[in-house]
Structure 1
Amino acid sequence: MNALLRLLAWLLALALVALPVVAVLNGWVGAERFPLARLRVSGQFERVQAEQLRAAVAPHARRGYFAVDLHAAQRAVERLPWVESAQVRKQWPDVLEVRVVEHRPFARWGEDRMLSERGVLFPLPPDLADARLPRLDGPPARAPEVVALYNEARELFAPLGYGVAELGVDARGSWSLVLDNGTRVVVGRDDARARLQRFVRVLPQLLAGQARPLERADLRYTNGFTLAWGRPATRDSSFHTPASAQARAKQASST
């Protein structure tokens, strides 16, 4: 009996010591004695507002320095528009530090998303709906491939004075792009880089002395391209050729 009483007394003493610690760590007591009174924000960002950050972390900071849930606060910040990643930590005695990395848009992705410079897809912000950015598209898992081919295509066409406005790959793996002058280039599924290189090499010859704009080029051929020409820039429509007229262009290497 004496041993049981001693055990109960020991457990009671342990509880009396541990309970205040548990209460403080869980925010049951002590929040007013150890408050998080200051928010310190760092990082290079332009679109995320300090008021948004304060509102995101406030529910988690009310429980005080010892009971703040840093992981929950971090997740709340990362759910904000334009936030790519965040780090939340506390500094004694009353500071909550938030470091933010903001999405830096690289291109439009599909109809309702953006691709950041780090290759992260995020919802299209309303203020960028009309932004002049390249338009990329494809299965999200293939985003690195899309970006790589876009960069290569941009370098290929730049010496000719063209930019790449759109580039994408469909569900079947077929590539296509649109130049900034409106020309659509259907590349196909196989050897996309080699086909583009071959097309760029002969494009000046195809356009030489041609009054009509090139509307579409289909590169899905082994020994040539199928070209669709538009109407020439003239007021006299009697000399216009049909927009659907097509001509076969042989590769320079095959002539």
Structure 2
Amino acid sequence: MNEVPALDKRAVKRADVSAQRQGVKGSQFYLGLAFFITVLVLLVFAGIKLSVWLEDEQKAPVQDIVVSGERTFIQEHKIEALIKRTQPGSFFELDVEQTHQTVEAMPWVYRASVRKRWPSGLEIYVVEQQPAAIWNGDMLLNQFGDAFDAQLNDKDLALKMQLPHLFGPGGSEQTALQGYRNMQSLLDVTDLYIVEMFLSERFAWNIQLNNGVKLNLGRTEFIDRLQRFVDLLPLLSQQKKQIDYVDLRYDTGLAVGWKTLDKAV
């Protein structure tokens, strides 16, 4: 009986071990591949579910809208209603820039900033318009002379009575407001203030004071002419007759129109 050499036995043994290792590696490869495919499928499925969840406004709505900044006329609930009407999607879909433009377009908002607050909030900071005058009867001028459309209701009657009424051609808002401020600063030394001011198409100035007196200041040197009126006011006040108007369109002096008895009554 022939015996297998010891060297051949070791070679066979190594071949068997190598084959076993190859089989194990092959099993591990397929198991790893299967695991990878499973994880990939799960990730794709999770991504789809996440996308659906993000798009579903019922699962990720804008729940908390916080409005800050000093406000007198801006009402928080109106801002909330406007945002929910113009941005009906989810928190993640909300367009911050568009929301910012929408809020700043509100009549009483001068400036605004908008930012998201995780996980479902929105923070809005507003700078309110500061009304300085009523312009042409139906608009308002802010402190910078910019006109904005914010109709005053009956509740704002006190504001209507406090603000001066300025009238002028389109585009003259800032000129009119600055002219009013310059003239009112001269009148601050008296008990008089401007209730109405008219700036004509030719930029002639006419004002009416709180005592009913109307002043015609003309187009040029209107500040100097108003100063002349202030200087002569003590003399005019000594008259027993009531002043109807004062025409100051002269190099020196002035013309006074007195109220008749009917007007005085």
The runs of at least 4 aligned residues of structure 1 exceeding 6 Å deviation read none
Note if 1:211 corresponds to 2:247: no
* Residue correspondences, number: 215
Q: CA deviation at 1:199?
A: 2.4
Report the Cα distance in structure 2 between the residues aligned to 1:159 and 1:139, rounded to whole angstroms. 30
Please, what TM-score do these two structures have when normalized by structure 1?
A: 0.72
- What CA RMSD, in Å, does the superposition of the two structures yield over aligned residues? 3.0
The answer to whether residue 122 in structure 2 is matched with residue 121 in structure 1 is no
- Whose helix proportion is higher, 1 or 2? 2
| Aligned residue in 1 for 2:180 | 150
Report the counterpart of residue 229 of structure 1 in structure 2: 258
Residues 95, 61 of structure 1: alpha-carbon distance in 2 compared, 3 angstrom cutoff: farther
CA displacement at 1:32 relative to structure 2: 4.6
- Deviation (angstroms), 1:81: 4.3
In the other structure, the counterpart of 1:6 is: none
8 Å CA contact retained: 2:108, 2:129: yes
Change (3 A) 1:209 1:29: closer
**Shift of residue 188 of structure 1?**
0.7
Matching residue of 1:166: 196
Instruction: Flag the 1:75–1:125 CA change in 2: closer, same or farther, 3 A.
Output: farther
Counterpart in the other structure of 2:114: 88
Secondary structure of 1:159 counterpart:
coil
CA deviation map 1:179-226 (0-9, x unaligned): 110000011111111221222222322x15311111111111223212
State the match for 1:111 in structure 2.
137
- Between the aligned partners of 1:192 and 1:161, the Cα distance in structure 2 is 20
Name the CA distance, whole Å, in 1 between partners of 2:198 and 2:174. Answer: 12
Contact (CA 8 Å) 1:56, 1:73: kept in 2 or not?
no
Q: What CA deviation, in whole Å up to 9, does each residue of 1:77-134 have, x standing for no partner?
A: 2343433332222122221112222223222111111122343322232233572121
Structure 1 residue 77 and structure 2 residue 103: aligned?
Answer: yes
- Structure 1's unaligned 5+ residue stretches are 1-16, 244-255
Report the CA distance between 1:229 and its aligned residue.
0.7
Q: Equivalent residue for 1:198?
A: 228
